[in-house]
Structure 1
Amino acid sequence: MEHTLTKHYKAIIWDWNGTLLNDLEICIDAMNMMLHKRGYKLLEKQHYKEIFTFPVRDYYERAGFDFEKHDWETIALEFIRNYRDLIHKSLLHDRVNEVVSYFQTAGKRQFILSAMHQDFLVETISARLDPSKFEIIAGLGDHYAESKAGNAHILVDKTGLSKDRIVMIGDTIHDYEVAHETGIDCILVADGHQSKERLETTGTKVLNNLGELIDLFN
């Protein structure tokens, strides 16, 4: 079926963080700033990709935080502040513009779905990509739902397409779970926040990088 994907799918729902935006390093740095401050062991990239998960509170516990000692809300807000301070260092993954343009030329409708706050999401995208290439940019807050899965349902409804004509492209098991809950297909890219071995446990198609999407759809 792979050679028929271009004809089959009419809409692409992109995850942003880790899929289009290469923010892996700053996420590790933001967490390590917090761990160092409290005398905990710092994370290395491979270990991070093995423990990162949703809900993120579980990831924080795997990273070393004991929420019997630390207030969850305080820790979560501190990470967001660190992340915002570092976001200027994050660039797009290799070939993002090429891949987005490829789907645009092929007549695919494109959307972005993220767990980032709506205003910050639009700001972050606009600094790196032409937002007009995406019909809807859906983050949390604003007039969208209060969860990524909720936003996914809204986006699917807004397309007016049959669910089998829509595919989500992400970089985490959670992206697969959101797609599965919404009833759409999912392709994962092992160039973000979780290892390829973990992604392959979903049983869905897993690529090494975004560039492989063009080969997959051709």
Structure 2
Amino acid sequence: MHRFKAIIWDYNGTLLNDVEIGVESINTMLQKRQLPLLTCESYREVFTFPVKDYYEKVGFNFQKEDWNSTAHEFIANYTQRLPNSDIFPEARLLLDIFKNQGKKQFILSAMEMGMLIESTKELAIQQFFTEISGIDNIYASSKIDNGKNLFNKYQLKAEDVCLLGDTTHDYEVAQELGCHCYLIASGHQSFEKLKATGCQNIIHSLNDILTE
């Protein structure tokens, strides 16, 4: 990682260890609809972008209910549980290491911007980042445009940047930006799903970066 001048962090599942509260939040909704519940392992196999596709995979029928209302229901459940999640311990170590190495650090997240700012403030990590970038809605949509905006605003060169993420969409973002990418299989998707992207750097946890 020494060769990189800038690190772009995904938030959910990469910096923030929130898989468990995500599964609890969706299971509350599945139970209400008498649909099969998920384990963390089965969740990692079905979670995908766009998020609406994942909801349909686990049994939601948007011919019978409204997607907008369903998304708001999840956010209400998730927000209630968010204080129970924390940053991965190894992520805190890496934030310090990268800061001491003089790297610029950014958050590029599909979390709604207000929630993202509040969460990073509560976890006392805002000072590590040159910019924190979320989206303007609750639907966990694409991060590609926001990533391009970061590149343009800070005149980042693709060869100097590494994106750290935990989903196939993070790899799509990195491909669009032309930068390097590490995918971490301790977040929202399984090692096998990440491997199917063709990404050359798939690791089991951020500890693997610490030991490089």
Normalised to the residue count of structure 1, the TM-score between the two structures is 0.91
Q: Distance in 2 between matches of 1:44 and 1:92?
A: 21
Pairwise CA distance, 1:141: 2.4
* Alignment-derived partner of residue 190 in structure 1: 185
Pairwise CA distance, 1:107: 1.2
* Alignment-derived partner of residue 11 in structure 1: 6
Q: Distance in 1 between matches of 2:91 and 2:105?
A: 13
CA offsets, 1:14-35, max 9 Å, x none? 0000000000011101100101
- Structure 2: gaps (5+ residues): none
Normalised to the residue count of structure 2, the TM-score between the two structures is 0.94
Correspondences of 1:1-218 after superposition (within 5 Å): 5-6=1-2, 8-141=3-136, 147-204=142-199, 205-216=201-212
Pairwise CA distance, 1:127: 1.1
Equivalent residue letter for 2:43: Y
* Matched pairs, number: 208
Q: Distance in 2 between matches of 1:103 and 1:176?
A: 21
Alpha-carbon RMSD across the aligned residues, in angstroms, is 1.4
CA offsets, 1:35-92, max 9 Å, x none? 1111111111111000000000100011111112221111111001111111011111
CA offsets, 1:138-175, max 9 Å, x none? 01129xxx841111001112221321111100000010
**9-18 or 90-99: bigger deviation:** 90-99
The DSSP-based 3-state class of the residue aligned with 1:95 is: helix
The DSSP-based 3-state class of the residue aligned with 1:70 is: coil
